[in-house]
Amino acid sequence: MKKIIGTCLLTSAILLNAQEKPTYPELTANTKRVDLKLPKIENEKDYKVEVRFGLEINVSECEDPKDFTFNKQNLKHEYGLPNYRYEYYSVAENQPIEIFSANNPGNCDKNKKTVKKILSSQNIFMEYNGYFSTPFFIPKNWTVEYKLWKIDGEFKTAK
């Protein structure tokens, strides 16, 4: 009887502690995974995280690229396990983008190229989470950029 109870307890302990493995998108030759891991801080509820995507482009010295945009419907926010566990974001690998730039009048060489970094005009706001990283599956030439925002947790009435 003691062996049966011991075996049942051991089996239930193993089943309770067993974790399912989350399912993420497969990487291709043109995609990469970037894990956004935020440091642990006090009062996480007082902060929000703004995420934008970055891109380095070759432009002439006369061009002043401001930002780029993509079809936000191609940005997917999904979960690796049911019940909203292990969230991740993915963007299609052959994502067409549109770059917004202006020309700089003045003394510049249109034939001289330079590399400039631009950020997407679209952003994602997330709750601060210093315990788990958030994976992003993005095209290889993109980066994940983030900014922290301190918030006032109280709602105010508009007048």
pLDDT tens-digit series, residues 45-97: 999 999 999 999 998 888 888 899 999 889 999 999 988 889 999 998 888 89
What's the pTM value of the predicted model, to 2 decimals?
0.80
User: What is the mean pLDDT of the segment spanning 104-129?
Assistant: 88
Above 60 in pLDDT, residue 9?
Answer: no
121 close to 100: Cβ distance less than 8 angstroms: yes
How far is residue 128's CA from residue 44's CA, in Å, rounded to a whole number?
A: 6
Return the C-alpha torsion angle 34, 77, 50, 53, nearest 10. Answer: 50
CB 77 within 8 A of CB 143: no
Residues ≥6 apart with Cβ < 8 Å to 63: 101, 102, 103, 104
**So what's the pLDDT on residue 16?**
45
What is the pLDDT, as a whole number, of residue 79? 94
Q: Which of 93, 84, 71 is nearest to 26 (CA)?
A: 93
pLDDT value, residue 80: 92
pLDDT higher than threshold 80 for residue 3: no
- Asked if residue 151 lies in contact with residue 43, where contact means CB atoms within 8 angstroms, the answer is no
Beta-bridge partner residues of 50: 125, 147
